[in-house]
Structure 1
Amino acid sequence: MRCHTCDTDTDVRAMECQTCHTPVGSPALRPGVRVRPVRGVGRAAAVAVAATVLFLLSTVAVQPVNALLAARAVDSADGEAFLLSAGLLELVAALLYQVAMLAAVVLVIIWTWRARKNLDAFPGAAPPLSAGWAIAGWLVPFVNVVLPHRVVANIARDSLWRLGTPWLVHLWWGAWLVFLFGERTIARSTAREFDALPYPQTSADFQAYADHYASAAGAYLVPALFCVVAGASLIVLIHRVSAAQTARIARGMPTGPILPGMTVAAPAGPAGAGGTIGA
């Protein structure tokens, strides 16, 4: 017989489909269980993640620019104006990064929660953590070092029909943790170094600022590289999971118009299918 989830031939003597691991005879969706669209919010989350990476790179790129401004201040009669320009440039880059990061965090949490809730409608899926952890796991201190990885790993396994966690999940989370702790450590260190700089009065003082910015540019390169890896792998992961869940939901829904909140009836046949779709 053909599997209702992945539409491949399945041995009726088997307990589950060898491709997607859905129990033999089960529908693509559990009848009456609400499913939520993930493609739109997934695209928005991917765009926000990409913007976060780009603005993070811009905060690194302004460091050598600031070093040049500080170097010009060495021989300038109005050296403080160059340092003020450097400070404003760094502030703008940091603000853009923080805004993009906040948007990315909110959208990724929404996407994670929707994708996790959809697992409740997938026969054969057995998520060990409740859907609430798809939100709380990101927000609770210390717990947020572990649980987002576990939740997304479960979403990826049950959405992409894998017995093991896809390597992209490990790559994303490992790179994210290295970036997170590395960037914070370097930020604290560079802040202490900046606070220790003298008030700019002499050429040597301005040169100290130039040396500080040049050193900061090199220090931030490694965390920035891990941020790029984490962002790229998360974008690919969101795309793959969203596409897989959208395709499965489409298989479980009958043709014809479906209004938000409508419960659709299971089609005729011993296996049945159906679900409730909501915004």
Structure 2
Amino acid sequence: MYVTLALVVAADLYSLLTGIRLYGIWADVAQAGWDDASARRYSGLESHYTWSGTLQVNTLLACGVVFIVWFHRVRRNAGLLAPDAHSKTSGWAIWGWIVPVVCWWFPRRIALDSWRASTPYTDEGRQQPGSGIVNVWWAAWLGSQLVDQVAIRTYERAQEPDAIREALRMLNGSDIVDIIAAVFAVVVVHRLTTVQQHAMRNWPAPPAAVPAAAVGASDQ
């Protein structure tokens, strides 16, 4: 899990650095016009930028598969810990990422329910964990996807240097937000996995006993 998230960050960083250099070329062209040197630089960077986009898509798909497997395991184990603490069935831990429209909020809801179900019991009942880290991760993820789609369409339609620079600025911003989302995803994966493993090994069983065969969510 951590390896695939690191690959996503690496691909985003490569795209961001290339995009910044490409933006610099268009800024120079806007002031001084094209010459042979700037044309050669642009040709090489444009090729790298196209390749970085392909790399981003491939690493995101690979990470997505691994992440959904982990996410489903977490939801399944959370269901064993607290069967009545969930508003969505375990199947939605997979389909919630794929089905249009509901993919904008179902995964966040499942993550929050799983986190709550994995927290320990006290004399007063189940502790309520903070949801801030999940909300920040989810907001960053949605933001990067929305900005990326708008920026790609803007870049494809742009003809004038000013329009191209604006599209590159948006794409660079999307890369930054995507990196932030990936970093927060690492934090969410680590904390949720740790708290769930601790719950299954050490905490007193809730009123509905946890089956002995349950295992903690493991990193991929």
TM-score, normalised to structure 2, is: 0.78
Q: How far does residue 164 in structure 1 lie from its aligned partner after superposition?
A: 5.3
Check the 8 A contact 2:23/2:169 in 1, yes or no: no
Q: Pairwise CA RMSD of aligned residues?
A: 2.9
**Corresponding residue for residue 17 of structure 2:** 61
- The alpha carbon displacement at 1:272 in A equals 7.5
Which residue of the partner structure matches residue 15 of structure 1?
A: none
Query: Secondary structure of the equivalent of 1:120?
Result: helix
Given that 1:69 and 1:86 are in contact with CA atoms closer than 8 Å, whether structure 2 keeps it comes out as no
Give 1:136 shift: 0.4
Which residue does 2:183 correspond to in 1? 232
2:16 counterpart letter in structure 1:
V
Aligned sequence identity (%): 22
Unaligned stretches of 5+ residues in structure 2: 121-126
Q: Give the 3 Å change call, closer, same or farther, for CA 177–66 of structure 1 in structure 2.
A: same
The residue type paired with residue 238 of structure 1 is: V
Which runs of at least 4 in structure 1 moved beyond 4 Å after TM superposition?
Answer: 67-73, 211-214, 271-274
Instruction: Tell me if 1:116 matches 2:67.
Output: no
- Larger Rg computed on CA atoms: 1
State how far apart, in whole Å, the 2-side matches of 1:213 and 1:61 are: 16
Q: Which amino acid aligns with 2:151?
A: I
Match of residue 146, structure 1, among 105, 116, 125: 105
Going from structure 1 to structure 2, the CA distance change for 1:50 and 1:140 (only over 3 Å counts) comes to same
Measured at CA, do residues 90 and 115 of structure 1 come closer, stay the same or move farther in structure 2, by a change above 3 Å?
A: same
Query: Runs of 5+ in structure 1 lacking a partner?
Result: 1-43, 198-207, 253-270
- Report the TM-score, using the length of structure 1 for normalisation: 0.63
Within the alignment, does 1:75 sit opposite 2:75 as a pair? Answer: no
Alignment of 1:1-279 (within 5 A): 44=1, 46-67=2-23, 74-76=34-36, 79=39, 81-123=40-82, 126-161=85-120, 162-163=127-128, 166-193=131-158, 196=159, 208=161, 214-251=165-202, 274-277=211-214
Question: 1 CA distance for matches of 2:36 and 2:118?
Answer: 61
Per-residue CA deviations over 1:214-249 (Å, capped at 9, x if unaligned) read 444422343333323322222111101111112223
Aligned length: 202
